[in-house]
Amino acid sequence: MQPFRYSRPGDSREACAAGAQPGAAFIAGGTDLLPLLKEGARVATGLIDINGLPFADIRHEAAGAWIGALSRMSDAAADNRLRQDYPAIVEALLASASPQVRNLATIGGNLLQRTRCLYFRDTAVPCNKRRPGSGCPAWDGQNRGNAILGGSRSCIATHASDLAVALAALDARVVLQGRHRRRQIPLTEFHRLPGDTPDIETVLEPGELIIAVFVPATACSRHSTYLKLRDRASFEWALTSAAAAVELDGNRIRRAGIAVGGVATKPWRLPQVEAALAGARSEPATFRAAAELAGQEAEPRQRNAFKIELMKRAIIGALTKAGNLP
């Protein structure tokens, strides 16, 4: 790790100004940043500790929930109102990492965690995301964990956050504070596709902070769930996951929000699946037919084609649970 300066600003203006300096990085929980710095996959010359900023609250309003960017994953997971009104969020959080990591890690940092692609964290090998232009060894390499959706020839790394998948299904928005303005962006537009610049992952501007996530309270959000499939029973990122939120009208689905994880280069909404569900009966045949549509745009590589089928099944599984079917 290279040496860095350290500061702990007391307000967001100071933080944003410091964060805009070249080589600067915000640090919140540090659970993703420290490993990257230690392994040399990232270099920062200035760390701006944002834990002194007042963004750690979780507030509930009629319109929805404001989850402060600095609230810990464990605090959000233990929030009763979140559990009642947005179960997918709490389920995603509890299925993430470990209690120890969740006690340090923040909501904002979670959305910005870097990929788990095996090549990204090993500085001995090329990787376009880490070293632009160096190539993508995952393309023809150990890509079992990589994306089948949203990839490009430059990069097929998945976005690893579980939380982001739940938030995507719930129409969440990310609240950003920059040097000059505050703005809100739908979560689904916050992350960028890799295209030719896989190193640029979000729409954040230099020095811009995430200060909160807003989740609208809807009939859907109450009937939401998160299903995570992985190689071992706990303490692992998703091999494939699905978040489903459904609003039911009797045994008909009025509206559904479906997102998948572990399969795409960013938190991935599936509008075509949602469209197939809207107005249909809440029953296994509907789920199966809708889930079929999820794989349409998939572009698998040698070792990850199974994810197409696994993704469909995860969607069916999540729908079955959200729709309260046996």
Partner 1 sequence: MKNFIGQPVDRVDGPAKVRGKACYTADVHPPGLAYGVIVAAAIAKGHVVRLDTVAAEAVPGVISVIHHGNAPQLAYAPMEPRSMVDPKVGEALRIFQDDAVLFSGQPIALAVAEEPEQAAQAAALVRVTYAAEAANSDFARASQTARPPRQSAQPWSRPAELRRGDADAAFAAAPRRVDASYEQPAEFHCAIEPHGTIARWDHDHLTLWDKTQWVDHDRTAIAHVFGIPDDYVRVICPFVGGAFGSALRAWPHVAAAAMASLLVNRPVQLVPTRRQLFSAIGYRPQTVQRLRLGAGEDGRLTAVIHEVVAQTSVYEEYTEASIEPSAMLYAAPTLRADYRLAPMNVNTPCPMRAPGIVTGNLAVELAMDELAETCGLDPLKLRLRNYAESDAQKRLPWSSKSLRQCYAVGAERFGWSQRPATASGRRHGRWLIGYGMASALYPAHRAPASAHAELRADGTVAVTSAAGDMGPGTYTAMTQVAADALALPIAAVHFELGDSLLPSAPAHGGSMTMASVGSAVHAACQELRTKAQELDQRVRLPGDDRLAMQRAYAQLLARHRLDRLTAETEAKPGEEAERYSICAFGAVFAEVRIDPDLAELRVARLLGVYAAGRIINPKTARSQCIGGMVGGLGMALTEQGLWDDRLGRLMNASLADYLMPVNADLQSVEALFVPENDRHLGPLGVKGLAEIAVVGVAPAIVNAIYNATGRRIRSLPVTPDKILGLS
Partner 2 sequence: MEPSAGGRCSVFSFRSCKRSPAMPNWSRRLFLLSSVSSTLLVAAAKRLGLVRGSAAEAPSTSAPEVQTAEIVLTVNGADHRLSVDLRTTLLDVLRDHLGLTGAKKGCDLGQCGACTVLAGGRPINSCLTFAVMQQGKTITTIEGLGEGLGEGLGEGGELHPVQEAFIRHDALQCGYCTPGQILSAVAFLNHEQEPTDDSIREWMSGTLCRCGAYPNIVEAVKDAARRVDGHAAVPL
Ligand X SMILES: Cc1cc2nc3c(=O)[nH]c(=O)nc-3n(C[C@H](O)[C@H](O)[C@H](O)COP(=O)(O)OP(=O)(O)OC[C@H]3O[C@@H](n4cnc5c(N)ncnc54)[C@H](O)[C@@H]3O)c2cc1C
| Contact status, residue 120 vs residue 167, Cβ threshold 8 Å | no
Q: How far is the CB of 163 from partner 2 (least distance, A)?
A: 17
> Given the complex with partner 2, which of 49 and 292 has the nearer CB atom?
49
Alpha carbons 214 and 66: distance in angstroms, whole number: 5
Q: How far is the CB of 145 from partner 2 (least distance, A)?
A: 15
Instruction: List residues binding ligand X (CB under 6 A).
Output: 25-33, 50, 69, 73, 96-97, 101, 104-106, 108-110, 112-113, 160-163, 209-210, 237
Alpha carbons 179 and 212: distance in angstroms, whole number: 16
Q: Which of positions 127-146 make contact with ligand SF4 (CB under 6 A)? A: 127-129, 136-138, 146
Q: How far is the CB of 31 from partner 2 (least distance, A)?
A: 5
Query: Taking CB positions, which residue lies at the least distance from ligand X?
Result: 109
DSSP state of 76: H
Stretch that binds ligand SF4, among 77-85, 111-119, 290-298, 315-323 (CB under 6 A): 111-119
By a kind-dependent CB cut-off of 5 to 8 A, residue 128 interacts, out of ligand SF4, partner 1, partner 2, none, with: ligand SF4
Alpha carbons 270 and 256: distance in angstroms, whole number: 10
- Report residue 297 as tokens: 């745009």
| Contact status, residue 68 vs residue 58, Cβ threshold 8 Å | yes
Neighbours of 63 (CB within 10 A): 11
Q: How far is the CB of 164 from ligand SF4 (least distance, A)?
A: 17
| Contact status, residue 110 vs residue 164, Cβ threshold 8 Å | yes
Task: Give, in order, the Cα–Cα distances in Å from 21 to each of 70, 170, 179, 272, 316.
Answer: 21, 34, 12, 42, 46
- Report residue 116 as tokens: 């788990």
> Given the complex with ligand SF4, which of 149 and 273 has the nearer CB atom?
149
By a kind-dependent CB cut-off of 5 to 8 A, residue 249 interacts, out of partner 1, ligand SF4, partner 2, none, with: none
Which residue matches tokens 């549509």? Answer: 293
Q: Which of positions 170-229 make contact with ligand SF4 (CB under 6 A)? A: 198
Q: How far is the CB of 41 from partner 1 (least distance, A)?
A: 11
Q: How far is the CB of 235 from partner 1 (least distance, A)?
A: 5
Q: How far is the CB of 132 from ligand SF4 (least distance, A)?
A: 9
By a kind-dependent CB cut-off of 5 to 8 A, residue 233 interacts, out of ligand SF4, partner 2, ligand X, none, with: partner 2
Q: How far is the CB of 155 from ligand X (least distance, A)?
A: 18
Instruction: List residues binding partner 2 (CB under 8 A).
Output: 1, 3-6, 27, 29-31, 34-35, 38-39, 47, 49, 51, 74, 97-101, 103-104, 233-235
> Given the complex with partner 2, which of 136 and 227 has the nearer CB atom?
227
Q: How many residues bind ligand SF4 (CB under 6 A)?
A: 15
Alpha carbons 14 and 84: distance in angstroms, whole number: 37
Judged by CB under 6 A, does residue 115 bind ligand SF4? Answer: yes
Neighbours of 38 (CB within 10 A): 11
Output the DSSP codes for 225-292.
Answer: EEEEE-SSSSSS--SEEEEEEEEEETTEEEEEEEEEESSBSS-EE-HHHHHHHTTSBSSHHHHHHHHH
Question: Cα dihedral angle (166, 168, 55, 76), rounded to 10 degrees?
Answer: -10
Instruction: List residues binding partner 1 (CB under 8 A).
Output: 1-3, 38-40, 116, 118-119, 121-125, 137, 140-142, 144, 227, 229, 231-237, 239, 303, 305-306, 309-310, 313-314, 316-317
Residue type, 94: L
| 3-class DSSP state of 123 | coil
Site residues (vs ligand SF4, CB under 6 A)? 115, 117, 119-120, 127-129, 136-138, 146, 155-157, 198
